[in-house]
Amino acid sequence: MTNSGPKIMVIGSINRDLVVRCHTLPAPGQTLLAESSTEICGGKGANQAVAAARAGGQVRMIGRVGDDAFADRLVANLEQAQIESNHVLRTDGCASGLAVVAVDDSGQNSIMVVPGSNGQVSVADIENARLAIESSSVVLLQLEIPLDTVVAAIGMARSAGVPVIVDPAPAPDEWLDQLFHVDLLCPNESEAAAFVGGPVETLKQVESAARAIHEKGAVNVAITLGDRGTLLFDGNQTQLVEPFPVHAVDSTAAGDAFAGAVAVYWAEHSNLVDAVRYGNAAGALSASREGAQPSIAQRDEIEKLWRSAK
């Protein structure tokens, strides 16, 4: 790794993404002719690792690939992004993770994920990486790997005094209490709605959801609202952190770009409001470009947009 920034440990999924572009997303039972298809490296874990690396972090990753033809490409992609892959393991008799992503002309997307080897990331994998986790500046997690593995990583990091950020995507069928015992939980509107079991649309509803998540144990809560910005609740007060207006093309990795950039800035400066603002800039740049990892901005691009609005 050549970056000299904070040590960010990303624990999560590594996928190959099949991205299909279409004028509109298909309704149930509907068949559409799409415009194009592209196969690229993705997965929320890998996307966030790339985002953190491009934002200036020294990034290490824990995850798994399969024993298929795409596995070598997935690992090489991480290494090309200057991400240490010593704890990315091969899984015999298992395919690598796959995501099928449909993107319409407005930039909205619909995603189906086949976990593959991501479902084999184990508590033992976390234990075997204990030293790397405990020496990190921040641990960043998502929910495309088994929840008991996520919980084990949260407990290990927090016991060592390492701040933990969890992007609770995809929203689980069962919200384990341990998932909330983190320093920052950053759901989007739909994930927050899944937690509260009702709509999260108005700012009042968003604030209510943030408070409910905080009461479950999250020290800080940042609910991302797309082109409305991000609502941050620190346990005492709420603040709507303004968005950066862009022409949205593809929102696929915007949340991942946000999480990776927040992790790096927060570790560097210990200012969560500015970290969220920095993350908003990274997310906006990603949404203005096509693809997942190809859309993720470099540090100088994020800083240029971030400074333009100060």
> What would the pLDDT profile of 226-255 be if each residue is shown by its tens digit?
889 999 999 999 999 999 988 888 887 899
Q: Which long-range contacts (CB under 8 A, 24 or more apart) does 243-246 make?
A: 243/280, 243/284, 244/280, 244/281, 244/284, 244/285, 244/305, 244/306, 244/309, 245/284, 246/284, 246/285, 246/287, 246/288
What are the catalytic residues? 256
Helix axes 189-196, 203-215, angle to 10 degrees: 60
The CATH number corresponding to 7-25+36-308 among 3.40.1190.20, 3.30.450.40, 3.40.50.300, 3.40.190.10 equals: 3.40.1190.20
pLDDT over 80 at 152, yes or no: yes
Q: What is the pLDDT of residues 19-60, one digit of tens each?
A: 899 999 999 999 999 999 988 899 999 999 999 999 999 999
Percent with pLDDT over 70 in the chain: 99
What are the DSSP E strand ranges found in 94-150? 97-103, 109-114, 138-141
Weakest-pLDDT range from 131-140, 229-238, 242-251, 297-306: 242-251
